[in-house]
A and B are shown apart, each in its own frame.
Chain A
Amino acid sequence: MANDRTILSVTDVTRQIKLSLETKFPRIWIQGEISNFKQHTSGHLYFTLKDEGAQISVVMWRSRAASLLMVPEDGMKAIVRGSITVYPPRGNYQIDCDQIQPVGVGELQLAFERLKKKLSEEGLFDVAHKKPIPEYPETIGIITSETGAALQDIRSVLSRRFPSLEVILVNVRVQGAGAAEEIAEAIGDMNRYGKIDVLIVGRGGGSLEDLWPFNEEIVARAIYHSTIPVISAVGHEIDFSIADFVADLRAPTPSAAAELAVKDRRDILEVLGNMWYTIDRNVSEMLSSFRENIGRLITSYSFNKPKDLLRESNQRLDDLERSVSVSFSHVLQFAQQRCRTLDQRLEALSPRSVLTRGYAIVRKDGIVIGSSRKLRTGDVAHIEFHDGTIKSRIEP
């Protein structure tokens, strides 16, 4: 017996065990419950997979961990894919894992609920933290895939409603491994770039797995820390993502996000039209009351030199009044017209333009005289015509 005894070193036997195990289990799927889950500062994941009868150590290296849809937690049932490896310095074996799939479709939903609860408790969804969306943004940042349907949808809505915009796109992957990190980085980049008034972050519809990057903590925190207001636009109406809860405004779809971001220019034109109506009406009313005062001035006092001119201008004021009332009748159509047309017509009615038609402004000591009662015999008045001002003295 003693002669048969081959004495192996620890290293030798471990090498044989390693060879035997690693050849026998090159790639296997194992189902069990996760326990002792630990994420090392290096980014590697360590945990134990167990069932009623046994347990086995699992390691997932950082490079592979990055592709996980959700962070594993103790108690989670999962199917792990990997190969058995032996670690000679410690004399143990473990699964070198490259994939972890939660068991049952409910797991992603559970992960979603857990993260939602956690971030909600931390205050990431607080209404008080939400920033207002600017009413008239000039530069819009979009974070999505440049080949996705979402970008086309947003583009067509913005083109229709308010094309005079600067739009800055950061192209990111919106699904799969690494997408969440890219989206979070893009949000940071947009903030550092700094010339953006509002951000749209999102993608078109897809499965829960496809939309998953928008349910990741790293994206939620990037949105929370953005100083640029964020509109989230993930999937369809029925899809709610963690990003939606953190965002300053949730849009049900990418198209809707574009509609929320900019006003329709036709509506703005109507607002402009209404403002012009008010300005025009007020100034026209001031003009006509001024006209009455000039009329009184002429009949109450006689002017030295410009008497005839004033009479003439009084006649022409009739013309002015006619054109003002014409403008009243058309004023409601302003909104439907191009702003430029509007400008030209209004400019023609400007009091300064009216001076070229024989109308004059009377000033004393630089102040416009709107009433005959403000002038006395002997007063010096300056009368402004379109081409200059003359000095006159009020006679008895």
Chain B
Amino acid sequence: MTTKKTTKQSFEDSIRRLEEIVEALERGDVPLDEAVNLYEEGIQLSRACGEKLKATELRIKKLSKDMKGQFEISDLEQ
């Protein structure tokens, strides 16, 4: 639906993938070497999510238009 601006996996994608890994492991039909891979993928995803949750400062930017109607982005004075 939305176009991602970077190839980086979105937070939502990471959570969804973690849910898939949980489901696959719970079904119990995953061979051990695949489980090992899933486990490692899960660690990567969890680290990415954790990083995202660690941020402490909210950044607000202001969107405005210049004389020609082109968008400008600036930092909002706190």
The interface of chain A, by Cβ under 8 A from chain B, is 134-136, 138, 141-142, 146, 155, 158-159, 162-171, 189-190, 192-195, 197, 265, 268-269, 271-272, 275-276, 278-279, 282-283, 286, 290, 338-340, 342-343, 346-347, 350-352, 361, 367-368, 370
Contacts and interface: CB of A to CB of B under 8 A. Distances in A.
A278 B25 contact: yes
A193 B63 CA distance: 9
Interface of B: 2-3, 5, 10-12, 15, 18-19, 21-22, 25-26, 28, 31-33, 35-36, 38-40, 42-43, 46-47, 49-65, 71, 73, 76
A282 B63 contact: no
A170 B55 CA distance: 24
A196 to B, nearest CB: 9
Contacts, number: 137
Contacts of B64: 170-171
Contacts of B36: 283, 350-352
Contacts of A276: 42, 46
B58 A290 contact: no
A350 B47 CA distance: 15
Given A155-B60, A164-B52, A350-B43, A135 B12 contact: yes
A282 B39 CA distance: 10
A146 B63 contact: no
Residues of B contacting A: mostly: helix
A346 B43 contact: yes
B53 A339 contact: yes
A208 to B, nearest CB: 29
Contact of B47 (A146, A194, A268, A340): A340
A340 B50 contact: yes
B2 A197 contact: yes
29 contacts: A134-B12, A141-B63, A159-B58, A163-B58, A165-B58, A165-B59, A166-B59, A167-B60, A169-B62, A193-B63, A268-B15, A268-B49, A272-B18, A272-B50, A275-B18, A279-B21, A279-B42, A283-B25, A290-B32, A339-B46, A339-B47, A346-B43, A346-B46, A350-B40, A351-B36, A352-B40, A361-B33, A368-B31, A368-B33
Contacts of A164: 52-55
Q: Which 8 pairs of residues, A with B, have the shortest CB-CB distance?
A: A339-B50, A164-B55, A282-B25, A136-B12, A159-B58, A163-B58, A167-B60, A265-B53
Contacts of B71: 189, 192-193
A142 B60 CA distance: 10
